[in-house]
Amino acid sequence: MEFLKALGVDLRLLIIQAAGFLILLYILRKYLFGKILAALKARREEVQETYRKSEQYRAEAANLKTNYERKVTEAEAEAEKKLTAAVKEAKVLGTEIVEKSRQEAETIKRKAHETVELERKKAAAEIRNQVVDLSILATQKLIETSISKAKAEELVDEFIKGVEGIK
C-alpha cells in the first residue's frame, strides 16, 4: 500500500471510481449497448437481405435474358419460315398466272383460227354461190343465143378459167 501512496494513488478513491465505472458499465450495457447491438444486428440482416435480393434479381435477369434470346431466335426462325412460305406461294401464284395467261392466249389463238376458217368457208360458199349464179346466167345466155356447140364450149372454158382465177 505504501507503494500506491508513493505514487499518489488513493486506494479508497480508486475503489469508488472502479465501483462507479462498473455501475456505469452495467447501466450502459443494459440500456445502451443492447439497443446499439440490436441496431447493428438489424443493419447486418438488412444488408444480408439486400445482398440476397440482389443475387435473386441478378439470377432473374439472367433467366429473363435467356428467355428473351430464345424468343428472339424463335421469332427470327418464324419470320424466316413465313418469308420462305410467302416466296413459295408467290412462285406458285406466278406460275399459275403464267399458265393461265398461256391458256388464254391459246384459247384466243384457237378462236381466231376458227374465225378465220369460218370466214374462209363463208367466202368459199359465197364464191360457189356466185359461180352457180354465173353458170346459170351463162347457161341462160347460151340458150338465148343458140350458138354453135364449139362456141358454147369455148364460153364454158372461159368461164371455168375465170372461176379458177377467183379461187
pLDDT in tens, 69-99: 999 999 999 999 999 999 999 999 999 999 9
Contacts of 11 (CB under 8 A, 6+ apart): 1, 4
Q: What is the pLDDT of residue 165?
A: 65
Could you read off the pLDDT of 27-37 as tens digits, one per residue?
988 888 888 88
Question: How many Cβ atoms are within 10 Å of 165's Cβ, its own excluded?
Answer: 7
Q: How confident is the model at residue 13 (pLDDT cuts 50, 70, 90)?
A: confident
Q: Give the N- to C-terminal CA distance of the chain in Å, as an integer.
A: 168
**Nearest-angstrom CA–CA distance, 23 and 128:** 152
Could you read off the pLDDT of 42-61 as tens digits, one per residue?
999 999 999 999 999 999 99
Could you read off the pLDDT of 114-141 as tens digits, one per residue?
999 999 888 888 888 887 777 777 777 7
Q: What is the pLDDT of residue 146?
A: 61
The answer, yes or no, to whether residue 21 has pLDDT greater than 60, is yes
Written as one string, the DSSP assignment of 98-120 is HHHHHHHHHHHHHHHHHHHHHHH
Q: What is the pLDDT of residue 159?
A: 76
DSSP H helix total and E strand total for the chain? 4, 0
Q: What is the pLDDT of residue 147?
A: 60
**Nearest-angstrom CA–CA distance, 91 and 69:** 33
Contact (CB, 8 A) for 18 and 11: no
Contact (CB, 8 A) for 26 and 36: no
**Nearest-angstrom CA–CA distance, 104 and 94:** 15
Q: Indicate yes or no: pTM above 0.85.
A: no
For the record, the C-alpha cell of 50 comes out as 439486400
Higher pLDDT pick, 139 / 103: 103
Contact (CB, 8 A) for 114 and 139: no
Query: Dihedral sign, CA of 11, 14, 18, 19?
Result: positive
Higher pLDDT pick, 22 / 129: 22
CA angle 5, 6, 12 (to 5 degrees): 15
